[in-house]
């Protein structure tokens, strides 16, 4: 009988290779910029010029380390990120503590260059490495009847100097509707420029939802809960008038204190021309998720 070549590779083998590539890029440091060849889905961000690694990692919002843009880079260094696990609970078939390394070994990592838009009207372009949140939720087994996903950031007063101040109700929490969470553009980021994600950007894993304002992308996640009721979100609790549950980038709906019609690209210099902000941050493929909804009421 003639020997026939058979494809024995499974999805797991692909994962292994991606991981290996990621590790290799991490070792190569910024040489990892060559990761561009890995780009899986450029989506609406196709052709975008990423901000520098320095810009992305030195101008941050992570209030657990202070409210200044440079506080996270200065004070996040003490955050213990290994070992790390994520509790997945609520309406799932397999609730439990999932070790971060175990999660990584089962996920397909790829690079996604996404436009990032903050509610304070600044923007960046970031080459994230990450995996689709849908794959993690599917691994845990979403029960029918689940409608929302709630997220929680680690709370470690000993390692987070900013939580002394009640600027927000700690721990930081966020939420998505299940269809938003399952959308292929929604990722859990574990890297930037092919290197492990730095603490100030939300190590070891943080949410990235490119059509929503930056504050939806909750950092250093320790818990994910599937639920049938809309979960509370930190900024909505702090100021419901200014921050809604959906928080979709929308040039037509102004934040009470800032116009959302234009944005300033970080790194463009003080006199750089402001750019028009795009509906859904330019990610038109998500518009169907909101058909029939009044996006001024549901802001
Ligand atoms: N836990 C936690 N997550 C957070 C925040 C925070 O203060 N705490 N800030 C949010 C805001 S307002 C923004 S704009 C983004 C900033 O992400 P970056 O620092 O990677 O640019 O993180 C979001 N995630
Ligand atoms: Mo933000």
CATH number of the domain that residue 204 is part of: 3.90.420.10
Is 297 inside any structural domain? no
Is 2 inside any structural domain? no
The ligand 1 atom nearest the CA atom of 200: 19
Q: Which ligand has the minimum distance to the alpha carbon of residue 59?
A: 1
Q: Mean pLDDT per segment of 10 residues, for the chain of length 299 residues?
A: 39 39 42 39 63 97 98 98 98 98 97 96 96 98 98 98 97 98 98 97 98 98 99 97 96 93 88 91 98 96
Is 92 inside any structural domain? yes
Mutate to test the pocket of ligand 1, among 54, 56, 61, 125 (most ligand atoms within 8 A of CB): 61
Is 243 inside any structural domain? yes
Q: Is 217 in the pocket of ligand 1 (CB under 6 A)?
A: yes
Is 180 inside any structural domain? yes
The number of distinct structural domains making up the chain is 1
Q: Alpha-carbon distance 179 to 246, whole Å? A: 12
Is 6 inside any structural domain? no
pTM value is: 0.87
Q: Is 60 in the pocket of ligand 1 (CB under 6 A)?
A: yes
User: Would you call 191 helix, strand, or coil by DSSP?
Assistant: strand
**189, 128 contact by CB (below 8 A):** yes
Is 154 inside any structural domain? yes
Q: Whose alpha carbon is nearest atom 19 of ligand 1?
A: 60
What φ, ψ does residue 138 adopt, rounded to 5°? Answer: -65, -35
Q: Is 250 in the pocket of ligand 1 (CB under 6 A)?
A: no
Instruction: List, in order, residues 6 or more apart from 107 with CB less than 8 Å away.
Output: 15, 131, 132, 135, 136
Q: Whose alpha carbon is nearest atom 21 of ligand 1?
A: 60
> In terms of residue numbers, what domain contains 53?
11-290
Is 78 inside any structural domain? yes
Assign 3-state DSSP to the chain and report helix, strand, coil percentages, each to 5.
30, 25, 45
Beta strands in the chain (DSSP E): 85-90, 96-99, 110-117, 122-132, 148-153, 173-177, 187-192, 195-196, 206-208, 221-227, 262-265, 275-276
Nearest one of 245, 248, 242 to 211, comparing CA atoms: 248
- Peptide bond just before 204 cis, omega within 30 deg: yes
Q: Alpha-carbon distance 150 to 88, whole Å? A: 10
Q: Alpha-carbon distance 132 to 182, whole Å? A: 8
CA of 118 to the centre of ligand 2 (A): 4
DSSP label at residue 37: G
Q: Alpha-carbon distance 205 to 208, whole Å? A: 10
List C-alpha distances in Å: 98 to 56, 85, 94, 114, 139.
28, 5, 10, 27, 10
The DSSP bridge partners found for residue 123 are: 117, 265
- In the sheet with 221-227, reading across from the earlier edge strand, the strands are 96-99, 85-90, 221-227, 148-153, 173-177
Q: 27, exposed or middle or buried, with CB in 10 Å at 0-12, 13-18, 19+?
A: exposed
| pLDDT at residue number 2 | 41
| pLDDT at residue number 46 | 56
Instruction: List, in order, residues 6 or more apart from 137 with CB less than 8 Å away.
Output: 92, 149, 181, 182, 224, 226
User: Would you call 299 helix, strand, or coil by DSSP?
Assistant: coil
Q: Alpha-carbon distance 4 to 208, whole Å? A: 44
């Amino acid at each position: 009988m003639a020997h026939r070549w058979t494809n024995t590779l499974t999805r797991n083998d692909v994962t292994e290779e991606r991981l290996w590539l990621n590790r290799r890029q991490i070792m190569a440091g910024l040489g990892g910029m060559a990761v561009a060849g890995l780009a899986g889905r450029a989506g609406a961000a196709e052709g975008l010029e990423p901000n520098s690694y320095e810009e992305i990692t030195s101008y941050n919002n992570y209030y657990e380390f202070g409210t200044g843009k440079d506080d996270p880079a200065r004070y996040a260094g003490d955050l213990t990120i290994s070992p790390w696990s994520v509790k997945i609970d609520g309406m799932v078939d397999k609730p439990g503590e999932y070790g971060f390394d175990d999660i990584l070994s089962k996920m397909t990592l790829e690079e996604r260059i996404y436009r990032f838009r903050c509610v304070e009207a600044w923007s960046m372009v970031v080459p994230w490495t990450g995996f689709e949140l849908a794959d993690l939720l599917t691994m845990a087994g979403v029960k029918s009847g689940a409608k929302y996903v709630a997220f929680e950031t680690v709370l470690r007063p000993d390692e987070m100097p900013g939580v002394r101040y009640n600027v927000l109700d700690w721990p930081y929490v966020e939420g998505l509707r299940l269809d938003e969470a399952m959308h292929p553009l929604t990722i859990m980021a574990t890297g930037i420029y092919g290197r492990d994600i730095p603490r100030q950007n939300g190590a070891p894993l943080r949410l990235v939802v490119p059509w929503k304002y930056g504050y939806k992308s909750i950092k250093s996640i320790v818990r994910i809960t599937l639920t049938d009721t809309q979960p509370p979100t930190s900024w909505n609790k702090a100021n419901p008038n200014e921050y809604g549950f959906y928080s979709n980038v929308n040039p037509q709906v102004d934040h009470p204190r800032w116009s959302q019609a234009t944005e300033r690209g970080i790194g463009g210099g003080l006199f750089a021309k402001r750019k028009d902000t795009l509906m859904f941050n330019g990610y038109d493929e998500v518009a169907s998720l909101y058909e029939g909804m009044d996006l001024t009421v549901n802001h």
